[in-house]
Structure 1
Amino acid sequence: MNAPETPHKPTVMADVQGSADTRRIAINKVGIKAIRHPVGVLDKSGGVQHTIAVFNMYVGLPHNFKGTHMSRFVEIL
């Protein structure tokens, strides 16, 4: 006869994002590199030339910020 199974307790994962960061380390540059985005450029005759531009968008993060919403970089374009 088999022994009765003991109930399994689920493992609780620590909320790392929600915890305080006491290291006080700033990040000089974080962002998105080589974003291809359509743009219109005015030419000398007053017309518009349509092309694709390549952008790099970065921010510096002070030690008291945990991150940035990089999807908003593209929204700004």
Structure 2
Amino acid sequence: MESNVLQEYTEQIETIGLYGFYLLLFLLMGLAIQDVLKRGNVPKFGRQVVWAVLFFGCTGFIAKAIIEIVWTSRGLG
């Protein structure tokens, strides 16, 4: 019985794990960028540009995931 339940939800578990990995990856990239910006004495405007680019990249990734979930739930994908 447990094996059938695990097989039934394997794809969902893999998807959640993959998104968790991406979240961890974005967090580590953010920490690395923060360290580089501090050590490089980057001006305030430059820091704002870097963080804006990182923010919009993350936002686009999240939007893609939400659109994908909505489309697959409606049978479009």
TM range (shorter): under 0.3
* Bigger strand share: 1
TM-score by length of 1: 0.23
- Hey, which of these two has a bigger chunk of helix by percent? 2
Q: Give the TM-score, by structure 2 length.
A: 0.23
Which structure ranks higher in relative contact order (CA pairs < 8 Å, sequence separation ≥ 6)?
1
